[in-house]
Amino acid sequence: MISFKNVNKWFGDLHVLNNIDLEVEKGEVVVVCGPSGSGKSTLIRCINRLEPIQEGELIVDGMKVHDKKTNMTQIRAEIGFVFQSFNLYPHMTALDNITIAPIKVRNIKKAEAEKLGKQILARVGLGDKSKAYPTQLSGGQQQRVAIARGLCMRPKMMLFDEPTSALDPEMIGEVLDVMVDLAKEGMTMIVVTHEMGFAREVAKRVVFMDEGQIIEVAPPKEFFTNPKSERSKIFLNAIL
């Protein structure tokens, strides 16, 4: 469903993605980890072309994301994206936040979108918060609204860019619970995170990155108990 072939990207002189090869199947949950500055956020931001790549092939759901002529609107509609800093629209209620894209991009009728939106808010445990503004919600609640915003587009895959890194420790659980449920329902997910408990529970593979390269790809059990590379060992020692 997502296929990187020899993908390279530079920020000026910095080689931020170095010969990336990665395939993600439909229904697969992949956790990407690595030290900060290793290119893991850039990797998933390329998938919906929040960042363009400079070399190589990147095919998402059969569409050529590397090709500048490709119209991204259609692809982006199929990809839910959750940011570290939530990025909810502060001038809209929770319900408006999650229904604006279905209404404007998918051309769903407002009443229908709101019905769907309320169902999805209930699913992330915020059925009573549809009229709340983002500033009236806690960090964990805001991030769950952000996940609901992605889900409301009925996407084929969800990308998470360090979704719990900006949260107070006591709120991390409520967000991870929602993500675990999603994973178990068969959503295709790529999650950049250091939450190794989450990786153990639902990830099919863990991708370890350092300095723009994919160093190791392995099932979580193997990665945690028997990391192959020296750098993975150092990283795991530091975070576990």
Partner 1 sequence: MWGFYFNELIRSLPFFIKGLWMTVAVSGLSLIMGTIIGFIWGILRASRNKILRSLIGAWVDLIRGTPFLVQVFIVFFILPGIGIELEAFPAAVIALTNLAACFICEIVAGGILAVSSGQREAATASGLSAYQQLRHIILPQAMRTILPPLVGQYVLLVKDSSVVSAIGVVDVTRVGWLTVQRIPEGIMVFGLVGILYFIVCYPLINLSNILERRMTVGATRL
Contact flag: residue 122 with partner 1 (CB under 8 A):
no
Determine, following the binding rule CB under 8 A, whether residue 54 of this chain makes contact with partner 1: no
Task: Summarize the chain as % helix, strand, coil (round to 5).
Answer: 40, 25, 35
In the complex with partner 1, which residue's Cβ is closer, 10 or 89?
Answer: 89
Neighbours of 239 (CB within 10 A): 10
Number of residues that bind partner 1 (CB under 8 A): 27
Q: Which is nearer to partner 1, 85 or 119 (CB)?
A: 85
Rule CB under 8 A: say whether 160 interacts with partner 1.
Answer: no
Tokens 């719990």 belong to 164
Please report which helix (H) or strand (E) contains residue 37, including its range.
none
Nearest Cα neighbor of 149 from 214, 93, 209 is: 93
Q: Which is nearer to partner 1, 89 or 224 (CB)?
A: 89
Q: What angle do CA 238, 198, 144 make, to 5 degrees?
A: 115
Beta strand pairing status for 2-11 and 14-24? antiparallel
71 to 3, 37, 74, 156: CA distances (angstroms): 18, 29, 7, 17
Which of 147, 146, 159 is closest to 65 using CA atoms? Answer: 159
Residues recorded for the chain:
240
- Print the binding letters for residues 200-239 with partner 1: x by CB under 8 A, - otherwise: ----------------------------------------
Footprint (CB under 8 A) of partner 1, residues 18-37: none
Is 107 among the residues that bind partner 1 (CB under 8 A)? Answer: no
Quick one: which segment of 52-60, 129-137, 162-170, 177-185 binds partner 1 (CB under 8 A)?
129-137
Nearest to partner 1 of 161, 195 (CB atom): 161
Nearest to 94 by CA among 78, 64, 117, 60: 117
By CB under 8 A, tell whether 77 contacts partner 1: yes
Distance CA 220, CA 202 (A): 9
From 36, 69, 91, 169, residue interacting with partner 1 (rule: CB under 8 A): 91
Comparison of 121 and 146: residue with beta carbon closer to partner 1: 146
In the complex, what is the shortest distance from the CB of residue 149 to partner 1, in angstroms, rounded to a whole number?
7
Candidates 8-16, 62-70, 101-109, 207-215; binding stretch for partner 1 (CB under 8 A): 101-109
* Partner residues linked to 3 by β-bridges: 23, 59
Contacts with partner 1 by CB under 8 A lie at: 48, 50, 72-74, 76-77, 79, 81, 83, 85, 87-91, 100-101, 104-105, 133, 135-136, 146, 149-150, 153
